[in-house]
Amino acid sequence: MNRVVALFYQLGVALLVRGMRYDSRRVGRAIFWGTPEFLKSVDEALNFIQIRGPDLYESLKNMPGVFWYSPKASFQVGKTFAVCDAYLAWSRQGILTRVVSCLMKYEQISKELFVSPQIPGTKEKIELANKSAAAWLERNGIDEALLSILRA
């Protein structure tokens, strides 16, 4: 049942981003959909990851995920990650924070359809993923205000 829901959700996102005339960037199996401003920040964040974290970049390339610009809210359903204006306002650093945290969560909780602290064991996995993401981002000079999102 969860696979069917995920398939319909992914189909809905695909139709939505095409209907909004978003452009895309592909990095291995990962794809990013959004406005030109969003994709500019994505390009800068991906270049940063490629230079500063080649292993992380390889993990991202192997992740069959979809990142899409959703102005109002950031959330995750399966392997689909929405990125809102709050992250885009920080340009490269904001997109970098969202991508790295999503990648770490994906690696911890790759089988879950809905990432929710109410699912037994998920809260601990989310906390571990956030700690790992915050540590990597801190080592790479990300602003403390963004790190506080992951440490909350």
Question: What's residue 14's pLDDT?
Answer: 67
Between CA 32 and CA 66 the distance in angstroms is 6
Between CA 2 and CA 42 the distance in angstroms is 29
Q: Which helix (H) or strand (E) holds 132?
A: helix 122-139
| Number of neighbouring beta carbons within 10 Å of residue 23 | 12
Between CA 3 and CA 98 the distance in angstroms is 24
Q: Which phi and psi angles does 109 have, rounded to 5°?
A: -130, 45
Question: What's residue 65's pLDDT?
Answer: 85
**Owner of token pair 């959909």:** 33
Encoding tokens for residue 14? 């695909």
If one counts the domains in the chain, the total is 1
Question: What's residue 110's pLDDT?
Answer: 65
Listed in sequence order, the residues at least 6 apart from 138 whose beta carbon sits closer than 8 Å to its beta carbon are: 147
Please report, in tens digits, the pLDDT of each residue of the chain (152 residues total). 456 655 665 666 666 666 677 888 999 999 999 999 999 999 999 999 999 999 999 999 998 888 989 899 888 777 888 999 999 999 999 999 999 999 998 888 765 555 555 667 778 888 898 999 999 999 999 999 999 988 87
Q: What is the domain range of residue 129?
A: 2-151
